[in-house]
Amino acid sequence: MVEINTSNPVLVTGATGYVAGWIVKGLLEKGITVYAAIRDVDDENKRQHLDKIANESNGDIKYFEADLLEPGSYKEAMEDCELVFHTASPFFLDSKDAQKELIDPAFEGTRNVLDSVNKTPSVKRVVLTSSVAAIYGDTIDSKNVPDGIFDESVWNTSSTPTQSEYSYSKTVAEKEAWKICGEQNRWDLVVINPSLVLGPALNPHSDFESKKFMVQMGNGDLKSGVPDIKLGIVDVRNVGEAHLNAGYNPDASGRYIISSDSMDFLTIGKHLLEEFGNKYPIPKRVAPKFLVWLIAPMIGIKRNFVSRNVGYAVHFNNTKSKKELAIDYIPVKDTVIDFFQQFINEKLI
């Protein structure tokens, strides 16, 4: 049982990220001081959305230059913090060098942050942003769990440095975090495992994978058909809320799957068509698997991803997050409509 004092500053790594922004927003609105560890502190455009939130709230924000691959990089930003949110970790589906772009930053970054935690006596709790990618590697893995439903007890055992590389990066990073936590008894670890995160971005002009997907649903890239893929989906606002509740609920412990529901891409398209009509080239049919495999490199995904994910479905048991973190999930339909509308408003579709 860990009591966190809200008068103390809180460290958020990767604070300008898609999910991290909503964590920062929630903290600032509670009047908490945020120590934001980011790269390129001097790039005001990158952080202006956070500055705006800070100016309109009771909390304060202070920026610190930090790099996942630089040992000791988070030491200064962690001073006096009881709570650390480690969100910084790259997310690419089409990385050119997975070891350099995904695995090293996720694994070594987690080690560097937790090494600083071990050297910072004030820290009582770390909340790590992991992923359901640390629970399963590809949707074909659903064949190996009862009724195709994953829960927090399951670990991804199928991914490798050359197959489902992102999933591998999240798995080894989370396992390393639990190992480091288990070697001491001063601070505890709570892990958030979101499914595919969609929903309004605080900085819609930044580049992130969820944005790429939603823009493709409306810009014509997928008008000839979408892959037959069914994934767990969760609203970014719920993910932010889950982090905050995991940080400040004294009884929070272990891993938490954060997923509203599972939905296939065609159903997402149907919801968008119902809301926006035929103003945009929203996909109306499923593309044959062989065709998706052929064009995969052109739409930014790898062919082995197509082979192991198209035609399968995954489902998640989110009971623990509802009971222990009090998450009231936003329906996926509302999430995708709000997300798509944001890109219309910003003239990105």
> What average pLDDT does the segment 57-81 reach?
95
The predicted-structure confidence for 180-202, as pLDDT tens digits, reads as follows 999 999 999 999 999 999 999 99
196: closest CA among 139, 149, 145, 146?
139
- For 328, the token pair is 């009231």
Tokens of 179: 């190992």
Coil/strand/helix, residue 76: helix
pLDDT for 93 equals 63
How high is the pLDDT of residue 233?
98
Q: Using alpha carbons, select from 292, 279, 297, 296 the residue that is nearest to residue 343.
A: 279
DSSP letters of 140-172? GGGGGSGGGEE-TT----S-BTTBSHHHHHHHH
Domain ranges of the chain: 10-343
| pLDDT surpasses 70 at 161 | yes
Residue 13, pLDDT score = 97
Q: What is the pLDDT of residues 84-138, one digit of tens each?
A: 999 988 776 666 788 988 899 899 999 999 999 999 999 999 999 999 999 999 9
Mean pLDDT of all residues belonging to the chain = 94
What are 6-17's pLDDT values in tens digits? 999 999 999 999
Any idea which residues carry the catalytic annotation? 170
- Helix (H, G, I), strand (E, B), or coil: what is residue 128? strand
Write the DSSP string, 204-271: TTS--HHHHHHHHTTSSTTTT-B---EEEEEEHHHHHHHHHHHHH-TT--EEEEE--EEEEHHHHHHH
| pLDDT surpasses 70 at 59 | yes
The mean-pLDDT minimum among 46-50, 153-157, 270-274 falls in: 46-50
Distance CA(146)–CA(165), nearest Å, equals 25
SS3 3: coil
Residues with Cβ within 8 Å of residue 200, at least 6 apart in sequence:
236, 237, 338, 339, 342
CA separation for the pair 252, 244 (Å, rounded): 11
Tokens found for residue 249: 């609920």
Q: Is the pLDDT of residue 69 over 80?
A: yes
List the CATH code of the domain at 10-343: 3.40.50.720
What's the burial of 260, exposed, middle or buried (CB within 10 Å: 0-12/13-18/19+)? buried
What pLDDT digit, counting tens, does each position of 232-279 carry? 999 999 999 999 999 999 999 999 999 999 999 999 999 999 999 999
Q: How large a percentage of the chain has pLDDT more than 90? A: 83
